[in-house]
Structure 1
Amino acid sequence: MNTPARRLDPITERAIDWLVRLDSGSATAEDRSAFEAWLDADPRHRNAWQTISGLLHQPIATLREAESHLPGQRRAARLALTTPQRRKALRNSAVALLLMSLGGYALNRQHPLGTLAADLHTATGERRQVQLADGSTLVLNARSAVDVEYSASMRLLRLRKGEILIHTAPDPARPLVVQTLHGQAHALGTRFSVRQLDTHSELAVLEHRVQLTATSGAQQVFDAGSTARFDGTRIQPLAASATIHAAWADGQLDVRDQPLGEVVNALRPYKRGHLRVSPQAAALRVYGVFPLDDPDATLLSLAETQPIAIRRYGALVTLIEHRSESE
C-alpha cells in the first residue's frame, strides 16, 4: 500500500504567508478581512492556521528522533525558538517544519517514503537510467517514481511522482503510454519527457510525436520541439523549448526568464531539506544555466545575481527572501 509522504502542503504554506503578513506590523483592515474570508472558505484553512499559529506552544520532543539522523537539528530549533531574531524568522518561514514530526520529515527528505512501493524510484538528488524489458530507455529525475505494467497489448508506465524521460523502443503491436493523474501521453515512435505536479502534468517532445489525452477526453498531438501542460480538463501548448525543458536529464537547470519560484521548485528534488521562498522573492525573473547536482552552489550563484537573502537553519530548512524583507 502506498503511504502518502508528509510534506508542507499549499494550504499550510498559505497559512504561513498569512502569519507573515499579520505579524508584520503593517497589516491593514483589508488584509484582516481577507484573512477572515480565507479562514471561512474551507475548514482545512482554519485547521492549518491553528497548527501554524500554535507551533510556539508545542513541545519539541520529536526533535530527538531527528537528532539521531541529522545531528544539530535540536540546537538549530532551540536557536530558532529562543532568540528574538530567530523567533521572528520562525514566524516568517517554514522553520515550523522542525516542530512538525521532524524525525519523519528528515527521513522523507532523504527518500520519499510514499514511493518505496513503486517499481522504480529515486531518492533526493538521484537520477537513474533503466533499460526496460522491451528495450526502451527510461530516465527518472530525482524524487520520482513509476510503475511498469507491460501486457500483450500495451506498455503502460504509471508516473506516481516526479518526472521521467523515455526513449521508446519500436513495437507496433504494443503502444507505449505514460499515465499521470491528469491524463495520458501516447508515444508515436518518440523520445519525450513527462512531469507530474500537484495541479497538472507537463510534456516535452524531443523526437517524433506524442498524442496527449486529458482525463476529460480532450486530445492533441504534439510534434518534436513542443511542450504542453494538461490538467485533466484541458490541454495547453507552452512556449518553452522541449530541449530546455528536459535539460534535467543531463544534470542541468536551463532557465530562460523564469520566476525564481519555478527555479526553486526544480531544485527541491535535489535538496535534502525544505526550501522555502517568499512570494516577493519568488516573483524575481531568472536567466542562466545551473547545476542540479549542487543545489547549494546554485543558490549561492543566484544570491550573487539576484536581490535575495538566504538563511539556513541546520540541514533541514533553507529560507529564500527578498533582501528588502530581511533588512
Structure 2
Amino acid sequence: MRTAPTSEMQEVARAAARWLALLESGTATEADHICLQHWRNSSANHEHIWQKAQQLRQRFEALPPALAMASLDRPDLARRAAIKRALGIAAVLPTTWLIARQVPVQVWLADVHTAIGEQKTLQLADGSLLQLNTDSAVNVDLSKRELTLVRGEMALRVNDSAGLTIHLPYGRVVVGRSDVCVRLNERDCQIKVASGAAQLHPLQGPALFLRGGEEVSLRPGGAGEVGRFDASLPGWREGVLIAQNQPLGDFLRELRRFRPGLLRWAPELENLRVIGSFRVDDTDRVLSLLAASLPLEVQSRTRYWVTLMPLKAHV
C-alpha cells in the first residue's frame, strides 16, 4: 500500500503543472525549453513526474483547442499577460486545473488509471481479473497481495483461495475466490459482492461477512446496513447504465462520470423518470435518446458544453 504523497512530491507536481501551462500557452521561448530540460535533468523524481504529467495531458488531448487554451483567442496580448492567464486561471487550462485542483497527485501517479469515459480490463500476474470504470485509479502490489482503490470504481474477480486485500479510505475488503465491485464516492465507499464472499473490515466497528448478491456502504463511522442487489443485471462492467424508473437528475449525475466536459440540466428536469438500458461508450446518443423520449431538448455549445432544457421553455 502506497503512502500519501509528500509535500516535496506535491511541490514537484505543481512545478510540472506550471511547466505544462507555459508550454500550452504558446509563448514558451527557446530559453524556456532549455530551462525545462534542465529542471527535468536535475532530478529523477522531476523526470518521473513530468512523464506522468504528460500522460495525464494526453488523456485530455481530445479537448477542442478553444477549451484547451482560451488565451489563443487573443494572440495580440503581451507574453506576460498570456502566461499570467495560463498560470492563474484554472478554466483557461484544463490540464493545469486537473493536476492542481481536480486530480490528486496520488491519482495520476497510480499504477493503473482510466480517463473520463475510459474503461480498462487487466489480468493480474496471479490470474485475477481487474476492471476499472471511468475516471478511476488503483495501485497494485501483488508482493503483499493487496490493491488500493485511489479513485473511482473497480471490480475484482479472484480465482486464488489465498485472496487479495482491497484497501479503502474507511477500511479494507478481503476477497478470495469471489467477484466484487468497489466504488469510492465523496462521503462513502460502496461494496458489492457479485459472487462468492468477502470479508469487510471497517476502520470503525465490527467486521462483516458479505455473500453474493449483498452490498453495503462503508463510512468513516463504520458500515451501514447490508442490502441486496440483483447481480444478474448488466452494469458498467458490460458498458451499460440501467435506469429503472430513475429520476433524471440521478441518471445524469451518473452519466456525467462517463462524459468529458460540462453537462448541465434545468432544475425542472430533475424528477422526470428514466427507464431503459444505455451504452456508456456513446453518451451523445444517450442524450439523443433522452430527448426523443422525454420533454426536453439538448443544447450544445460544443461537444464539451451541453445543457438540457425543458421543451416548454423554447416553444
Provide TM-score, normalisation by structure 1.
0.63
SS of match in other structure, 1:236:
coil
Show the counterpart of 2:121.
Answer: 129
1:210-249 aligned within 5 A: 210-233=198-221, 234-244=223-233, 247-249=235-237
What residue is the counterpart of 2:81 in the other structure?
A: none
Q: SS at 2:186's partner residue? A: coil
Distance 2:149 2:185 in 1: 11
- Return the alpha-carbon distance in structure 1 between the equivalents of residues 97 and 269 of structure 2: 28
- Residue 258 (structure 1) shift: 2.1
Q: Show the counterpart of 2:153.
A: 163
Instruction: Measure the CA separation in 1 of the matches of 2:128 and 2:283.
Output: 30
The match for 1:71 is 65
Render the CA deviation track for 1:104-154: whole Å, top value 9, x for unaligned: 269849x95752210000112211111112211101112110011234xx4
2:134 equivalent to 1:142: yes
CA distance in 1, matches of 2:312, 2:241: 27
Task: Return the offset for 1:235.
Answer: 1.9
Task: Report SS of the residue matched to 1:261.
Answer: helix
1:279 to 1:158, Cα distance in 2 relative to 1, 3 A: farther
2:167 alignment partner in structure 1: 179
- The answer for the alignment partner of 1:199 in structure 2 is 187
- 1:125 touches 1:143 (CA, 8 Å); kept in 2? yes
- Trace 1:86-97 onto structure 2 (pairs within 5 A): none
Residue correspondences, number = 243
Tell me which residue corresponds to 2:258: 270
- Partner amino acid for 2:218? F
Q: CA deviation at 1:307?
A: 2.6
Is the contact made by 1:155 and 1:176 (CA closer than 8 Å) also made in structure 2?
yes
Q: Does 1:289 align with 2:277?
A: yes
Contact map agreement 2:199 2:207 (CA 8 A) in 1: yes
Shift of 1:163: 0.8
Deviation at 1:189, TM superposition (A): 2.2
CA 325–222 in structure 1, closer or farther in 2 if over 3 Å, else same: farther
| 8 Å contact from structure 2 (residues 90, 96) kept in 1 | no
SS in 1 for 2:299: strand
- Alpha-carbon displacement from aligned partner over 1:268-318 (angstroms, at most 9, x marks no partner): 232121222344423322211000000110111112222333222223322
Distance in 1 (alpha carbons) for counterparts of 2:179 and 2:274: 28
Q: Is the alpha carbon distance of 1:183 and 1:284 closer, same or farther for their aligned partners in structure 2, counting shifts above 3 Å?
A: farther
CA distance 1:274–1:222, change in 2 (3 Å): same
Give the conservation status (yes or no) of the 8 Å contact 1:259–1:286: yes
Q: Deviations over 1:48-75 (max 9, x none)?
A: xxxxxxxxxxxxxxx978999513449x
8 Å Cα contact 2:161/2:176 also seen in 1: no
Change (3 A) 1:180 1:261: farther
Unpaired stretches in structure 2, ≥5 consecutive residues = 14-23, 27-59, 71-88
1:26-65 equivalences in 2 (<5 Å): none
1:102 maps to 2:92:
yes
Sort the Cα spacing of 1:300 and 1:101 in 2 relative to 1 into closer, same or farther, 3 A. Answer: same
Kept after mapping to 2: 8 A contact 1:310/1:321: yes
1:59 corresponds to which residue?
Answer: none
CA distance in 2, matches of 1:226, 1:68: 39
Correspondence for 2:308: 320
**Counterpart secondary structure, 1:270:** coil
Could you say what the CA RMSD is over the residues aligned between the two structures, in angstroms?
Answer: 3.5
Quick one: distance in 2 between partners of 1:295 and 1:249? Answer: 16
Deviates more, 1:154-163 or 1:291-300: 154-163
Unaligned runs of 5+ in 1: 6-62, 77-98
Q: Which amino acid aligns with 2:167?
A: Q
